[in-house]
Structure 1
């Protein structure tokens, strides 16, 4: 995710940088390695991986992803509740810092600092991994300028990554399994009918009606959910619906995609997850976009839009650039005779 910190936020204050990480990631990282790239004096791409026995295998990939944004440098934070205060663990942290330094050097990226902290909370102590002797206190994460900006943009911050994952988790496995039969039946029926602009228009309009109902807290019936699952397989339908994310009814669309993401079976769930990811990304919610894209790729590894958005997110592409992709939906809508909600002016706080 990419963010533009407040002028009071300084990258040369480790306590402030560490305190900002929950707001950037969307949750409080635990037992994690967090890599922060620096882009013209601002936070660039922020990536997190678990601290586990397979971490060494992830470092080369982490460096490759970081290099895609051509950052000027990077800073790493090791969040290790089990080992931050353990003297015997210092060697492990130092070795990890050395391996990460080598991986980033291979990509032409300078690793300026590696900080170690037990947990990310006000008053927690941090120290440098290389034994330089520097250390200090973590500032209050809830008072971070980045956290304030996130709340102002309407983003919810979670205590754990698992809580963020729960936002898109299947809510009723039995109901989802039952929906699969209804979707297969609906697809068979649709295969007998022509796929033309009139059919695309009808599907888009049905989705917009369902989005309005979802915003009122109404769930689609099984028949409507099956129809929507089939409709979203049509790339022309999806192209139009991406435009909802940049229109005045964006919240309605996101309500529907969230509902479908928690109820549809694979592979149809992938389309709802990608639409949810696009909507979240367009309004600056990188954490929700990332979680949704991970799930979409798990559902359908060949989904082109999921792969493209994931690449954009990893490169640190800004939300206003992603919003431009939604504009093509207005052109498709005009061609097939669908009236979409007007385009919403971009709020630069979300970038």
Structure 2
């Protein structure tokens, strides 16, 4: 997983910086307009939409799409809710999206799709890919919570069969978004 060239990543950093500047963290839980989804739920919906498209998409993501998706994953509840795709019918599509975002997202946002990729690989028993993705998450963002959790599981030889429960529990997070 070789990241995109630095000049390309720099363009995306500018887009992400703008998204971070314009977002009020305290407003994440509450919709701006009653009856509308919360910003956190909107982030998840964007990711869900792109997961569904990932299997049929024939063009690469644009810089804006990459920035929007990488930004959406910066909310830990949204990222954790995305674990639910790992045990669904679109798991392959989600994994393809995480793989693309690992390559195309700048640091530190790259750690989020790397951790998701690690979880998906771990669930399938592809421990070498899981280890590589965990290492990528930890190098990109030292102390990354999900990356550390998966790294601990891998180092302690926790069987991949123990992880589907984590993915099932992440489905419950969707209702909380």
Question: What's the TM-score, normalizing by structure 1?
Answer: 0.46
Does residue 330 (structure 1) correspond to residue 171 (structure 2)? The answer is yes
Counterpart-to-counterpart distance in 2, 1:297 and 1:243: 22
Moved over 6 A (4+): none
Shift of the 277–192 alpha-carbon distance from structure 1 to 2, 3 Å rule, reads closer
| Contact preservation (8 Å) 1:261, 1:269 | yes
Which structure exhibits the higher relative contact order, with contacts defined as CA atoms closer than 8 Å and separated by 6 or more residues? 2
Counterpart-to-counterpart distance in 2, 1:284 and 1:171: 28
Does residue 176 (structure 1) correspond to residue 4 (structure 2)? The answer is no
For 1:16-165, list aligned pairs within 5 A. Answer: none
Determine helix, strand or coil for the equivalent of 1:262. Answer: helix
Equivalent in 32, 45, 48 of residue 208 of structure 1: 48
Counterpart-to-counterpart distance in 1, 2:44 and 2:61: 15
Q: Tell me the matched-pair count.
A: 169
| Contact preservation (8 Å) 2:80, 2:170 | yes
Counterpart-to-counterpart distance in 1, 2:120 and 2:45: 18
Equivalent in 60, 71, 84 of residue 230 of structure 1: 71
Q: Which residue of 1 aligns with 2:29?
A: 196
Does residue 307 (structure 1) correspond to residue 155 (structure 2)? The answer is no
Does residue 239 (structure 1) correspond to residue 80 (structure 2)? The answer is yes
Counterpart-to-counterpart distance in 1, 2:25 and 2:150: 33
Counterpart-to-counterpart distance in 1, 2:4 and 2:67: 17
| Contact preservation (8 Å) 2:28, 2:39 | yes
| Residue 230 (structure 1) shift | 1.5
Determine helix, strand or coil for the equivalent of 2:174. Answer: helix
Determine helix, strand or coil for the equivalent of 2:163. Answer: helix
Q: Which residue of 2 aligns with 1:186?
A: 19
Structure 1: give runs of 5+ residues left out of the alignment: 1-167, 337-351
| Contact preservation (8 Å) 2:11, 2:63 | no
Higher strand share: 1
For residues 161-202 of structure 1, give each alpha carbon's deviation from its aligned partner in whole angstroms, at most 9, with x where no partner exists.
xxxxxxx21133321121111110111112388211621111
Structure 2: give runs of 5+ residues left out of the alignment: 31-37
Q: Which residue of 2 aligns with 1:296?
A: 137
Shift of the 224–308 alpha-carbon distance from structure 1 to 2, 3 Å rule, reads same
For 1:245-284, list aligned pairs within 5 A. Answer: 245-284=86-125
| Residue 259 (structure 1) shift | 0.5
| Residue 203 (structure 1) shift | 0.7
| Contact preservation (8 Å) 1:258, 1:273 | yes
Structure number with bigger Rg:
1
Counterpart-to-counterpart distance in 1, 2:21 and 2:119: 29
Counterpart-to-counterpart distance in 2, 1:214 and 1:261: 14
| Contact preservation (8 Å) 1:274, 1:306 | yes
| Residue 334 (structure 1) shift | 2.9
